[in-house]
Structure 1
Amino acid sequence: MEVALGIAGLALAAPTVVKTCFNLVDALMQKVEKNKSLRSHAERLKAFEIKTGRSKLKQDMKLGEAILKDPTVEQNDKACLEAVFDDAMKTLKEMDVTVDTILQNCDNFLSRKRRVALAKFTEQSRALDTTTNRFHDIVISQTLVQISESNNNVSLLKDFDFTIIGPLEDWKPLNKSAFIHKGRLTRSLKDIPAGTGEFVIESRAYKAATRDWVKTNLRFLAQRLAAAQLAEGILPLVGCREDSVRQEFQLAFCANSYAASAQTLQLLYCEKKTLPTLNFRLGLCANLAEAILHVHTLGLVHKNIRPENVLIASNDNCESNKVFLLGWKYARKAFDAPTVREGEPSTERKIYQHPHRQVEIADEDYCMGHDIYSLGVCMLEILAWAPLISSTEAGETSFNEDFKSGFKNRGLAKDKDEVNPAWLKGQHPRNVQRVLQDMAADKLPYLAGTRMAEVVASCLGCLESEEGRGGDANFRGRNPKEVGADFVDSVLKHTRSVAGAI
């Protein structure tokens, strides 16, 4: 108990915080190993045992210390970080007391005190898992803000820096503008080692009249993405290069650990026909939400969040799936960016866009709330494991039966059996939004629980109210740090909380 008592009141910025924290963890794990019942209840403590998990926690704590010492970080943000850290330390201390109670009553298997303590230990393990994840999210978000606000200039990659190896036929397509290919990096870049490896290449074509504009935008994007090496959900950026023969600029991302297993969510829907476990679906939702959080923290809007731009991959050393975003070519800074407000004409894409964007020329600039609406549509599909739209073998567009039924239920059918195809294709965008909200309310409570249904509904309605998690004003005119904190405290926090309770 000495270590546990010694951590009371320990500040994150204290010089011995990392050592003291892990001394407590080690002492706690030794006690847990003494009791078979505790081992089966302590799955969420394994992150403290595994070398990679412990390294991640140490890194988070050191980054947290740096944030607290940074005079440019607002006091409210520092206070939030310290509060989450204090919650984690308090939970560790309480777990130590609970373990002592269990060990003191281990001889009496039917003891009520032992049963209550075991239940409390399970609840505390879940709370610790949720709190450490939230601490990680806040630390990474604040670190990304600091890095992305620096004036680092990113130069175009030259052929002697990075070369694509092999013929065109060797490319592994991921979607219409992204592929995996073997390449060679001649010098190390940050944490990306020199040598031959697998890279994700995303292209954006240009014409002679648009070349300079495309180049300027992609260099800015590359500068922001280069700051995201610590971020989950964004592949490490190698750089931006030009292919003058194909008249396109290309963003190159390192994909060495994930190339063999990488596939889009769109393809995964086709391959995995049966409903996956709720843990699997919640994990995808949480990882996707975290990726979008980091995009917004970098001061960017993605503008292209849909299944074909969500890359699912598994690392050789990791059992769980990773989620990475593709489709960066139209991403731009979130505020004060030059834009022609061009809407989305394609049926396959605009079904994931807010009604504001499903017009030829939008009345308002694209904002973070539009990304969050797209997240809500994707989460609805993931939790129901039913894509809204797909292509048949003949290349025709096919709509989800529940989606079509939603129009019928709202009286938006020509007759009892037939829905006007124009409505399905977004002729009246507000009707599409209302049908999706109905689907979230009707289908998700028994597929994923009431709380997740509410989370999805909040995303789908985020631009319709000035109140709550959403609100048009909440996504315009605010700095990325504030939006990021709100996002962590809402969608991501609730999703992880539900996952942790299973």
Structure 2
Amino acid sequence: MEAVLALVGLGLAAPGVIDCVVRAGREIETRISSTRHLPDHIRKYRTFGTELSRGVLFTQLELVASAINQRTIGGDLKDQLEACFQKIVECLIAAEKELKKVEANEFKGILKILFGMQLGFESKIRELEQQRDIFTSLANLIHQHQTAPPVSHLGNRVKLRHESARSRPGSLLPTSEIRVAKCEMGKSVVKSVVVESRPFNSHSKPQLEEDIQVLVQKLRQTSSSTSIMNCLGYRQNPFHDTFEILFELPTDPTQRSLADMLASDLKPTLNHRVALCKLLANAVSEVHSIDLVHKSIRPRNILVVGTYHVERSAQTLFLTDWTLVREVGEASVWQGEDEWQRAIYQHMTRQGLHAERKYTINHDIYSLGVCMLEVLLWRPFIVDPAFTIGSASPNPPRELSEFFQQRAVALGPSVGVPERYLKDTQNIMRSAVVVKAVLVDLCRTELPPDVGIERNAGNQGVTVFVKLL
């Protein structure tokens, strides 16, 4: 009974659980094999021991134990499997206790089984068989999940127009990294889509595909969302080692990045700017509501659809660039953001090659605050010196806006940067402390009073505004 008791408290994902199961099965086999003239129900128990140690049940337990940690398997199914396994362990312990009573009545090597004992033992065996059958049904669902292609995998059902080994389909929206293309869905159905790519190699492919499946699964739960585009699924690019996630683009013809609006539009009314901030906050909130962190919130990745009207705004706003997204509880890579155009939107503990802290929801909220600050001031922090309306170069030369640079110099060398760093984006951006100081100062001195910040507020209150706005 020692090996059976060793199973108590073990979950299916516990290291070594299969070895413990095998030992328990062998213990049952060995004990009962030494007894002659076995009644049918005790012979069934020995067969159950064989199933545990090397039979069908062993194979199913091995399958489930190897798959239980996969994030694409639903939580309800995992809970049912764990509960069933624990019930099997409970039944085994109860059966062992009944068997001990039976063995106490052994006479000259022959089991003399009293009627009451026989009924008790038979009852436990029937329970074991019921739980085994339930576990078999659940294990079959795991097997089907592993062998069937995921529903979210689009496969060869879709084709992006004008794609080839030498050129990417579609085009980028101006002042953005949002790629828009036409997608043939079959049966003469053509949709406008946003295409987001994630390259892989032979080593990273399995884990990356699982990450994408989990992401797509969560995004498809938000079909009624007003700030997450309808996710059609994912596919593997036919020409390159790249997975592509496809989002259905809204039909409204007015589609622009927030960065494009900041760079080329005249300053809107305060009401319009506040309305955009509310849309943006709602979009970030919806991401967090499905237990995801976005990790890349910045104007070049924010899609604004429709036009603004004072009485009834028809604008909607969507976050794009889901390539860095992960689940809230998932381990975060402690790799910081070194590309300055991205780093300016990252919390100071996430800047540089090596992040000081893992990524959290609060870091998303900080990025949200920086974007809101740009919107309320209507002054982009990053500009293309050679910007022309309608340009859509994928990698235009960019630099810090003169407005941002001058504020960094105005703060002085002790808080900001020396005057010689004017026009030197790289040196200004080298210090995360300087970037934060500029943002806090802009918040304290430039925000319209109507948004609720007193110009003489202490640093603590201003910093909270920048982070949480």
Smaller-chain TM-score range? 0.5 to 0.7
Question: How does 1:21-36 map onto structure 2 within 5 Å?
Answer: none
Letter in 2 for 1:436: L
Q: Between Structure 1 and Structure 2, whose CA radius of gyration is higher?
A: 2
SS of the residue 1:209 aligns to = coil
Q: How many Å separate the matches in 2 of 1:291 and 1:453? A: 31
Q: Deviations over 1:241-281 (max 9, x none)?
A: 111422111111111413x3212111122221x21111211
- Pair 1:199–1:434, CA change in 2 (3 A): same
Q: How many Å separate the matches in 2 of 1:407 and 1:296? A: 33
In structure 2, the residue matched to 1:229 is 223
Q: Deviations over 1:322-364 (max 9, x none)?
A: 11111101101011x2333111111111000000110212132
In structure 2, the residue matched to 1:155 is 152
Find the partner of 1:393 among 347, 372, 386: 386
Whether the 8 Å CA contact 2:258–2:300 is kept in 1: the answer is: yes
- Pair 1:354–1:424, CA change in 2 (3 A): farther
Find the partner of 2:464 among 458, 461, 466: 458
Q: How many Å separate the matches in 1 of 2:171 and 2:247? A: 14
Letter in 2 for 1:442: T
- Pair 1:310–1:393, CA change in 2 (3 A): same
Q: Deviations over 1:174-198 (max 9, x none)?
A: 37754111113348xxxxxx92221
Task: Say whether 1:242 aligns with 2:239.
Answer: no
- Long gaps (5+) in structure 2: 1-144, 388-395
> How far is 1:457 from its partner?
4.2
Question: How does 1:281-320 map onto structure 2 within 5 Å?
Answer: 281-314=273-306, 319-320=313-314
Q: Deviations over 1:418-466 (max 9, x none)?
A: 548367543221221122011011000347453799897425346xxxx
Q: How many Å separate the matches in 1 of 2:455 and 2:243? A: 40
- Pair 1:271–1:385, CA change in 2 (3 A): same
Question: How does 1:403-442 map onto structure 2 within 5 Å?
Answer: 403-412=404-413, 415=418, 418-419=421-422, 421=424, 425-442=428-445
Q: How many Å separate the matches in 2 of 1:370 and 1:445? A: 25
In structure 2, the residue matched to 1:330 is 324
Whether the 8 Å CA contact 1:181–1:201 is kept in 2: the answer is: yes
- Long gaps (5+) in structure 1: 1-150, 188-193, 463-490, 492-502
In structure 1, the residue matched to 2:195 is 201
In structure 2, the residue matched to 1:363 is 356
Q: How many Å separate the matches in 1 of 2:342 and 2:353? A: 13
Which range moves more in the overlay, 345-354 or 306-315? 306-315
Q: How many Å separate the matches in 1 of 2:398 and 2:176? A: 17
- Pair 1:211–1:414, CA change in 2 (3 A): closer
Q: How many Å separate the matches in 2 of 1:414 and 1:433? A: 12
Output the aligned Cα RMSD: 3.1
Whether the 8 Å CA contact 2:161–2:169 is kept in 1: the answer is: no
Whether the 8 Å CA contact 1:233–1:323 is kept in 2: the answer is: yes
Report the number of matched residues. 302
Q: How many Å separate the matches in 1 of 2:232 and 2:455? A: 36
Letter in 2 for 1:409: A
Q: How many Å separate the matches in 1 of 2:218 and 2:440? A: 34
In structure 1, the residue matched to 2:136 is none
In structure 1, the residue matched to 2:141 is none
Letter in 1 for 2:466: L
SS of the residue 1:155 aligns to = coil
Question: How does 1:66-105 map onto structure 2 within 5 Å?
Answer: none
Q: How many Å separate the matches in 2 of 1:373 and 1:414? A: 23
Q: Provide the identity percentage.
A: 27
- Pair 1:439–1:271, CA change in 2 (3 A): same
- Pair 1:315–1:441, CA change in 2 (3 A): closer
Whether the 8 Å CA contact 2:176–2:301 is kept in 1: the answer is: no
Whether the 8 Å CA contact 2:408–2:417 is kept in 1: the answer is: no
Q: How many Å separate the matches in 2 of 1:315 and 1:447? A: 23
Whether the 8 Å CA contact 2:443–2:466 is kept in 1: the answer is: no
Whether the 8 Å CA contact 1:444–1:453 is kept in 2: the answer is: no
In structure 2, the residue matched to 1:278 is 270
Q: How many Å separate the matches in 1 of 2:300 and 2:293? A: 17
Whether the 8 Å CA contact 1:309–1:325 is kept in 2: the answer is: yes
> How far is 1:163 from its partner?
2.5
Letter in 1 for 2:227: G
Letter in 1 for 2:190: T
> How far is 1:155 from its partner?
3.4
Whether the 8 Å CA contact 2:177–2:301 is kept in 1: the answer is: no
- Pair 1:155–1:453, CA change in 2 (3 A): farther
Letter in 1 for 2:346: Q
Whether the 8 Å CA contact 2:308–2:314 is kept in 1: the answer is: no
- Pair 1:366–1:453, CA change in 2 (3 A): farther
Normalising by the residue count of structure 1, what TM-score does the alignment of the two structures yield?
Answer: 0.55
In structure 1, the residue matched to 2:170 is 171
Q: How many Å separate the matches in 2 of 1:280 and 1:262? A: 17
